[in-house]
Amino acid sequence: MRYAKLGNIINYLKNIMYQVNINNQQYFITDNEHVAWSAYRAACREYDNKSKKVALLNDDRLLHAKAADLMLLDDVDSVTANDLLKIIMQQLNIDIKQVKEIVKESGLPLSNSRVGSWTLPPDNRRYTQMHNDELAAILPYLLSKSIHELGYTPANLKQLRQRLRLTQEQVAKIVGVAGNRQVRRWENGEQPMPHDKWQLLLELDVD
């Protein structure tokens, strides 16, 4: 049994391709290139690591390193990952609050405050540039979530209604409210849709 466990550990270590080190000590390991770059940049941005050497390696091959007493200098893209994230969010009909929840559930090494700053206007002092690696790392988690899992939002309600090919009037009859005015309020975000009524509508979504 002991040798079997040792074999599993060895096989696991063989699959590890990327490693982030801080002062030559292992900080983060992964077999995902995009997650590795995200973790590397996150470590470089930590003020406590300013005086330390941070390095990203691939099978012991140095990919990038931040020297001690420096902070990571980032390149600026003409079309940012922030712009792409906003487009993806619009197409998926999700908001930044849901993105935060998805990233938190994923276990990726990304702080809640950093994720929240990605969709702020560029002239906002809290705005930070999202990296392509970060976008690639979180994208599979964003795409794996369905309306059922994300729950009610004004955008999700509208998307579900359109997918079911229902009018606001028809939705009102299904969930038991008078007229389409209330449904319009839910879709506009003026009032939250009660959970029980959202569930009634979800039951029609057999896909």
Ordered mean pLDDT values, 10 residues apiece, the chain (207 residues):
45 69 94 88 89 92 89 66 90 85 90 94 93 92 79 84 91 90 91 89 78
Burial call 1-33: b when 16+ CB within 10 Å, e when fewer: eeeeeeeeeeeeeeeeebbbbbeeeebbbbebb
Q: What's the confidence (pLDDT) of residue 138?
A: 93
Same domain, 59 and 91: no
39 within a domain of the structure (yes/no): yes
CA dihedral 28, 29, 32, 37 (to 10 degrees): 30
Q: What's the confidence (pLDDT) of residue 153?
A: 82
> Total structural domains in the chain?
3
Q: What's the confidence (pLDDT) of residue 120?
A: 95
Residue 93: in which H helix or E strand, if any? none
71 within a domain of the structure (yes/no): no
Q: What's the confidence (pLDDT) of residue 77?
A: 54
Question: What residue type is 27 in one-letter code?
Answer: Y
Residue 23 lies in domain: 2-66
Strands 61-66 and 25-30: unpaired
Q: What tokens does 101 get?
A: 């929840």
34 within a domain of the structure (yes/no): yes
Distance between CA atoms of 120 and 118, rounded to whole angstroms?
Answer: 6
Q: What's the confidence (pLDDT) of residue 10?
A: 45
Number of separate helices (H) and strands (E) present in the chain: 11, 4
Whether pTM > 0.85 for this model: the answer is no
Q: Among 13, 31, 66, where does a domain finish?
A: 66
Check: CB of residue 67 under 8 Å from CB of residue 53: yes
Q: Domain holding 197: CATH number?
A: 1.10.260.40
